[in-house]
Structure 1
C-alpha cells in the first residue's frame, strides 16, 4: 500500500479479531512525536486532538463522502489512540483514498477544519 501517514495499517491476528475485523487502522496521536503538530492544529479550532476527536472528524468525512464504507469500518478509539477496524483490504484502501489526502498534509487539514462548524463536534 502507498503512503499511509499519519496512519499505520496492520493485519489483525485471527485470535484477536473483533467481529469481522481483519485490519486495524491506527495513529498514536498522544505519543507519536511526528503527530505533535496535529494536536496544535486540532486545538487551534477548538477540537480535543485525541483519538476520539480524530475518529469523529474522520467519521464525518466518511458520512459525507462514502457512507456505505461505515458498514465496513468501526471505530474503537481512545483519548490517546485513533483506532478503526476494517473488514477487508478494499475497505482499508477506500479509507486511505478518502482520508489520507486530508490528514497527511497539515495545510489541507487546516483547510478542512476552517470549513467545519465546531459546534457540530463533541470532541
Structure 2
C-alpha cells in the first residue's frame, strides 16, 4: 500500500457517506504518538496543532495551489482529529500529491510555517 503518512485514507461504507463522499482522509492528531512532534511544531509558531488547525492550514495550501480541489473535499475536523471527506479516488490522489509532501516531513512543514502569518489563522 502507498505511504500516506501522516494521513490515513479510508473508503467510506455507504451508510457513513455524507453527500458525495466516498473516502475519508484522517489524522488522529491528538492520540497518535507518531504525530506528537507535529503538535510542538504547530505550537512553536503559535498555531493550535489540533485537527481544526491542520484543516485550516491544509485548506490554505489548497486555496493557493489548487482551489478547485476544495470543491471536492468537505472538512469535518475536531480538535482531536483531522477529517476530510473526498468525493473520489482522484481527489484523494490530488490531495496527497499537493499536501502530503509538506505534511509528511517536519522540516518541510517548518519551512511552510516560517512563511505563514499566524494572524491569518484562527486555530
TM-score interval, normalised by the smaller of the two chains: over 0.9
Q: Please list every run of 5 or more consecutive structure 1 residues that lacks an aligned counterpart in the other structure.
A: none
Q: Could you say what secondary structure the match of 1:98 adopts?
A: helix
Give per-residue Cα distances to partners, 1:52-80, cap 9 Å, x unaligned: 00000000000000000000001000000
Q: Please list every run of 5 or more consecutive structure 2 residues that lacks an aligned counterpart in the other structure.
A: none
1:117 matched to 2:117? The reply is yes
| Shift in Å, 1:2 | 2.3
1:20 matched to 2:20? The reply is yes
How far apart are the structure 1 equivalents of 2:102 and 2:69?
17
Equivalent residue for 1:53?
53
Aligned ranges 1:34-53 → 2 under 5 Å: 34-53=34-53
Instruction: State the superposition RMSD in angstroms.
Output: 0.6
| Shift in Å, 1:3 | 1.3
How far apart are the structure 2 equivalents of 1:14 and 1:75?
18
| Shift in Å, 1:94 | 0.1
Give per-residue Cα distances to partners, 1:69-95, cap 9 Å, x unaligned: 000001000000000000000000000
Aligned ranges 1:1-123 → 2 under 5 Å: 2-123=2-123
Runs of 4+ in 1 over 3 A off after TM superposition: none
Q: Could you say what secondary structure the match of 1:10 adopts?
A: strand
Number of residue pairs the alignment of both structures matches? 123
